[in-house]
Amino acid sequence: MESQKKIRQSDGNTTGASRKDEDEECCSYTACDKNEEREPSSPNRGDFSDPVYKEIAVANGTINRMTREELQAKCAELKLDPRGVKDVLRKRLKSYYKKQKLMHSAAGGNSELYYDYICVVDFEATCEENNPLDYHHEIIEFPMVLIDTHTLEIVDTFQEYVKPEISPQLSDFCTQLTGITQEMVDEAKTFNAVLKRAVSWLKEKELGTKYKYTFLTDGSWDMGKFLYTQCKLSRIRFPQFARKWINIRKSYGNFYKVARSQTKLICMLENLGMKYEGRPHCGLDDSRNIARIAIHMLKDGCQLRVNECLHSGEPRSVPVSVPFEGAPAPQKPKSRD
């Protein structure tokens, strides 16, 4: 159980996809280790000549010298959330002062370019207690949680169970882990039908047409492994709209400057002073909790942005220098046949 968890949480892709399918080529970015989140309203080309940046640096220096108690007191005084570990409180205060100072300077902001919605996805899949490396996970729960980035609230959710076709019988381990029973998947539709409904749900919200949006996941596996493998098994092309996403673990680590070992779901919540709500490994509850972290980060001034994409069947980093853009309008992908 523990070793599987480690595998799941390592963010690697072990699908062993070797065929270089031209359809999977989404972007020509090269892997980029230094994928720092761009701060709200940071200048695009490193132009820090505006004196406001000197003021921000001075404020940051003061914040760096504060104790946890001083940081908490300052947050409370400014009516900011006083919960969280020291690094989180520091970042919260720095972002607050930066935002305040930039609002009153000529350096201005670029918030009109930002996504209107962020759609959190956390698939659940078939599994065994010790999945062999070549195990074909099939998606059994397709949840989505939609965050309005203007109101910083969850505005809608989607949840459908999916009938697995290659291994229709769930293992006891899988049911215990996810809470998904044999009956639930027996009554569910197949992946193609559920994907169609998911696309309709996204379309109804006018995402990618009227509103700018992107996907957000906890790690690289949801798109890079589960969806990628499922599309192959279901003989459909990988959906264009899901080719780029925000990996919140990376964003969280870069923003709060914490090690990757501190970016597991429970750990991120705890460091922000929150507790997991619901049932762990229920896809919808996982998605809701991931959304709570994302909202917290947005409130702390993090401009969450796409940082991973699928390239030749593998997840890759997207450097921050890549122009900011939302996902394309959702469309049901074409068959591979």
Stretch that binds Mg ion, among 39-47, 114-122, 126-134, 161-169 (CB under 5 A): 114-122
Which of helix, strand or coil describes residue 179?
coil
Is 279 an interacting residue with respect to ligand AMP (CB under 6 A)? no
CA 54 from chain center: how many Å? Answer: 32
Is 122 an interacting residue with respect to Mg ion (CB under 5 A)? yes
Stretch that binds ligand AMP, among 22-30, 39-47, 124-132, 289-297 (CB under 6 A): 124-132
Q: How far is the CB of 16 from ligand AMP (least distance, A)?
A: 17
The interface partner of residue 266, options being ligand AMP, Mg ion, none and the CB cut-off 5 to 8 Å by kind, is: none
Q: How many residues touch Mg ion (CB under 5 A)?
A: 2
Is 318 an interacting residue with respect to ligand AMP (CB under 6 A)? no
CA 175, 16, 331 angle in degrees (round to 5)?
70
HSE-up of residue 254 (Cα within 13 Å, Cβ side): 21
Residue choice 4, 171, 192, 240 for contact with ligand AMP (CB under 6 A)? 4
Cα–Cα dist 95/38, whole Å? 12
Stretch that binds Mg ion, among 49-57, 116-124, 153-161, 243-251 (CB under 5 A): 116-124
**Residue 82: how many other CB atoms lie within 10 Å:** 16
Report helix, strand and coil shares of the chain as percent, to nearest 5.
40, 15, 45
Q: Which is closer to ligand AMP, CB of 6 or CB of 45?
A: 6
Nearest to 321 by CA among 66, 43, 123: 43
Cβ-defined contacts of 101-110 (< 8 Å, 24+)? 101/52, 101/55, 101/56, 101/59, 102/40, 102/41, 102/52, 102/56, 105/50, 105/51, 105/52, 106/50, 106/52, 107/41, 107/43, 107/50, 107/52, 107/53, 108/41, 109/40, 109/41, 110/40, 110/41
Q: Which is closer to Mg ion, CB of 122 or CB of 300?
A: 122
Between the alpha carbon of residue 114 and those of residues 202, 284, 304, the distances in Å are: 18, 25, 9
Is 136 an interacting residue with respect to ligand AMP (CB under 6 A)? no
The interface partner of residue 131, options being Mg ion, ligand AMP, none and the CB cut-off 5 to 8 Å by kind, is: ligand AMP
Stretch that binds Mg ion, among 60-68, 154-162, 193-201, 281-289 (CB under 5 A): 281-289
Which of helix, strand or coil describes residue 110?
coil
Is 286 an interacting residue with respect to Mg ion (CB under 5 A)? yes
150 is catalytic: no
2 is catalytic: no
Is 24 an interacting residue with respect to Mg ion (CB under 5 A)? no
Cα–Cα dist 7/134, whole Å? 13
Q: How far is the CB of 124 from Mg ion (least distance, A)?
A: 5
Which residue out of 24, 37, 124, 160 is catalytically annotated? Answer: 124
Is 281 an interacting residue with respect to ligand AMP (CB under 6 A)? yes
Is 269 an interacting residue with respect to ligand AMP (CB under 6 A)? no
- For the chain, the straight-line distance linking the first and the last C-alpha, in angstroms and rounded, comes to 37
Is 223 an interacting residue with respect to ligand AMP (CB under 6 A)? no
Q: How many residues touch ligand AMP (CB under 6 A)?
A: 14
Residues that bind ligand AMP (CB under 6 A): 1, 4-5, 8, 122, 124-125, 127, 131, 137, 177-178, 281, 286
**Which sequence positions are flagged as catalytic?**
124, 281
